[in-house]
Structure 1
């Protein structure tokens, strides 16, 4: 194996783990608001208490997925900067992708806040609002994938 081949293999492993943890992160970003909808619509206190536990546990998994997605994404970015810096400067697509990732992190932070509000029974939004709110990560995902795959800008 040549040094160049070994370096490319490192990049591919970083990319593979980045994608794995992005999928894990998105599973939580998609499903946690759905648990919120169920919580708002639940009429029995036993069900609401069970949903609080599920929300807290899913949030922890979402934290792990998000942290590792960001960590492997950062490692991948460092690899590109060290081995092929022109790739990251080949257009506006990469900067827009990072901006959308920042939006995902902000969305994640909002989920943390909402889990805390549900835990203290102080959440006041409707299930309709939550259903609309739940579409945000899907829109961000579409934007990120298009930017990374097509690189239109």
Structure 2
């Protein structure tokens, strides 16, 4: 009996299944809260929004670090193939669902609580659009690495690693301080 490697298909299918179950569980909890409509409904939606934001940002912070290490791996090597699997799973299983949940719940909160009013809210949404553009940029890089295409240098990915951090700091300031 041989040990399964993380690049084998079976562990990948199981990971996708577990992620699907977790996502369904998350959706079921949201649905239950929407049906029950507790007095603190807004706080529940806000909590789930923050959870999704944390998961999304964790991926946005980690994926460029993987790219930095992947840049140094020889295309086609075992190390490179492992990075491909890690990048793909991080993007598809964590980042994409978290981004979608963040957007849906965030827009719901912006509409139901704030009526899309407030300069701070408009600025926050604009920054979240930029964060989404960083996500799309990283998604394209995952496809580029997967195809063993041309790679940007590690220095580039170190710089790109800072973009989500700066955007996150500005978004948090806008949400907490509401300066305008």
Is the TM value for this pair above 0.5?
yes
1:123 is displaced (CA, Å) by 3.2
TM-score by length of 1: 0.87
Q: Which moved more, 1:68-77 or 1:15-24?
A: 68-77
Aligned equivalents of 1:123, 1:24: Cα separation in 2: 29
Which blocks of at least 5 consecutive residues in structure 1 are unaligned?
1-5
Moved more, 142-151 or 38-47: 38-47
Residues 68 and 158 in structure 2, CA contact (< 8 A), matched pair in contact too = yes
Alpha-carbon distance in 2 for matches of 1:123, 1:66: 27
Equivalent pair of 2:59/2:90 in contact (CA under 8 Å): yes
Assess if the C-alpha contact under 8 Å between 1:114 and 1:123 holds in 2. no
1:104 to 131, 138, 155: 131
CA distance in 1, matches of 2:39, 2:111: 13
Aligned residues: 142
Query: Unpaired runs of 5+ in structure 2?
Result: 1-36
Q: CA deviation at 1:42?
A: 2.2
Could you say which structure has the greater relative contact order, defined with CA pairs below 8 angstroms and 6 or more residues apart? 1
Q: What is the root-mean-square deviation of aligned Cα atoms in Å?
A: 1.6
CA distance in 2, matches of 1:67, 1:92: 24
Q: Work out whether residues 34 and 131 of structure 1, in 8 Å CA contact, stay in contact via their aligned partners in 2.
A: yes
Instruction: Give 4+ residue runs of structure 1 displaced > 6 Å after superposition.
Output: none
